[in-house]
Each structure stands twice: as C-alpha cells, then as structure tokens.
Amino acid sequence: MEFLDTYQQIVADAITKYTFKDKPAELYDPMNYIISHGGKRLRPIMVLMACDLFGGDMKEAIKPALAIEFFHNFTLIHDDIMDEAPLRRNKPTIHTLHGINTGILSGDGLMLKAYKFFEDLEPEIFKACIRIFTHTGLLLCEGQQYDINFETKEDVTFDDYIRMITYKTGVLSASSFEIGAMIAKANFKDAKAIFNFGKHIGIAFQIMDDYLDVFGDQAQFGKKHAGDIYENKKTVLYLLAREYATEAELKELDFWYSKKTDNIDKVYGVEKIFRRTGVDEKALRLIEKHNEIGQSFLQKIDIDDEKKKPFAELANYLLRRES
C-alpha cells in the first residue's frame, strides 16, 4: 500500500521537524522517546487521509495530525502506568525507565502540546476541531474508567464491553477522520459518515487487539503475552468464553479471574477454555462484522469510489495484521 508509506513519511518528517527541544530535558526527553518509537502512526494518517479525501490543504492538517499523535501517546504513557506494563512497541515503557512521576508529567505535557498544535487553524475550524478533540478525550477517559471497573465487576455484559472499547479506542479513530474532514470543510453528512466509518474500524481494531493479546505472534505484537488475562480484563474473548462455556469451565474462569497473579497456570488454564469454546474464530467474525458496518458508512460519502478505495484498503490491512 504505497499511499500508506507516503502518509507515514509525511508524519515522520513532521515529527522530526517538531521534535521537542524545550527544557527541562527530564520532562521532554521521555516525550520525544515515545513519539520516536513510531508504530504505525495510524491516527495522524487518518487526519491526513480525510483532509485529502475532501479536497483540503494537507499543509493545514499536518500540525492537527501531530496533535492526534501526541494525544494518543499521552494516553499510552498513562495506560502503561495503570497496567504496570513493562513494554510498549517492544521498548521499555517510560515509567519503567524514568519512574511514575515523570511518566505522569510527560504524558500531561504531550496532551497540552497537542492542544497547541491546533492554534494555526482559522477560528471557526479551530473551534470545531477543539470541540471534537475535547469531547473525544473525555470519552476516552470514561472508556478507560469502565475498563478499570470491569476488572472487579462480575456482571459485565457484551454491550458494556462494546461501549467501553468504542469510547477507549473507536472514537479516537473516528475523530481523527472527522477532524481531517473538518479542516477540509466537508459537509456535515459526509463528516459524520467518515466519523462512523472510523468508529467501527476502531471497534474492530480493538477486538483484534484483544485477540492478538492471546493468539497473536508475541514477538511482533510487542507486548507481554496474555497481559489481559493477567490483569483480569473482561475482553471480548472472556465474554464470549462465558457465553459458550460449560458449568465446570465457568467455575474455572471465576476462580482465575478472582485473583490478579502472574501465575503461568492461570494463563494456561484460561487459554485452554478460550480454545475449547472457539472464541478465537468468534472474535474474528465480530471483527469482520464491524469492518462491514464501517465500509457501509464509507459508501454513503458522496465522492468518487476511486478516492475512497484507500480507506477500504486501510481497514482491510489493519484487520488482517499480526501485530
């Protein structure tokens, strides 16, 4: 997908251009550290793609695209602290290297720098983008709190889970596309369609993340294997397993999820139930379902199909990943 390489290069060049040189270095070096790790940088690419789709000026979208990337990495720093995660993208996490206090501060710094990167937009577009951006941030916090609540809540439903991942993951992808559309001055109907496309692709992406946590190639995934099981996360795999488990399997799940432990027997026992109940295949079908819903919103956008092709390709690429 050459188009993805092109957008990635634009984002990489902009990150190099806007590397933080502020003082104290103890605050800004960790911010540069996580930003420089790269990853796929999907969300800033989504901003640029949507701006391009609706005929906007890509130069106007570059700094807001970086704002999304800064904000995303702020959430990752704080997420890793909450999860006590040792690795992110196969590199030591910031709090592991610099301590929790610096992790919190550098995350906060990234969020505030993100807001500053919208300042060059014309007033009406600025107001619209900041409104979307702030609302997204609040929903993301709500989603994260739901995720934390679910670790100790016994009666988590499938609808609870979908709401949580929509807030925690789906809306950031959705808003990235919507912000790009707003910068290009797309009409309301098309901006909402691209938002909904992004939301469902984001939901599918998070379900894939849950799947890869247990069934992925861990060398490529770059996170601790079965971290969600260790953390008692009520992921789609857990919820589907409960739906299809026998009474004995339900008792075993309850036993393992009543304790937070690094015991390898816990991972082995839970994985065995996941495989017996076929939740790997069921999760993959759910991913495909949300991909199809997302694609249906893409088709509603009143623009030539050829221009929309990269969006369908991006979704299919993301949902067939190994890491």
The pLDDT of residue 169 is 92
The Cα 212–Cα 226 span in angstroms is: 9
What confidence category does residue 323 fall into, taking pLDDT thresholds of 50, 70 and 90? Answer: very low
Cα–Cα nearest to 229, from 151, 160, 286: 151
pLDDT above 90: percentage of residues in the chain = 84
The pLDDT of residue 217 is 74
Maximum C-alpha span of the chain? 61
The Cα 55–Cα 101 span in angstroms is: 43
pTM, rounded to two decimals? 0.91
The Cα 189–Cα 109 span in angstroms is: 35
DSSP labels, 165-211? HIIIIIHHHHHHHHHHHHHTT--HHHHHHHHHHHHHHHHHHHHHHHH
Exposed/middle/buried for 67, CB within 10 Å: 0-12, 13-18, 19+? buried
SS (H, E, C) 231-258: CCCCCHHHHHHHHHCCHHHHHHHHHHCC
Tokens describing residue 53: 């789709």
pLDDT in tens, 81-101: 998 889 888 899 999 999 999
What confidence category does residue 78 fall into, taking pLDDT thresholds of 50, 70 and 90? Answer: very high
What is the H or E stretch that residue 281 is in? Answer: helix 279-299
Q: How far is CA 215 from the centre of its chain?
A: 19
Question: What single-letter DSSP state applies at residue 31?
Answer: H
Q: Sign of torsion, CA 267 268 270 274?
A: positive
pLDDT in tens, 47-74: 999 999 999 999 999 999 999 999 999 9
Mean pLDDT of the chain: 93
The pLDDT of residue 81 is 95
In sequence order, the 6+-apart residues with CB closer than 8 A to the CB of 88 are 34, 37, 76, 80, 222, 223
- How many of the other CB atoms lie within 10 Å of CB of 145? 13
Cα–Cα nearest to 130, from 185, 96, 179, 57: 179
- Mean of the pLDDT values across residues 9-38? 95
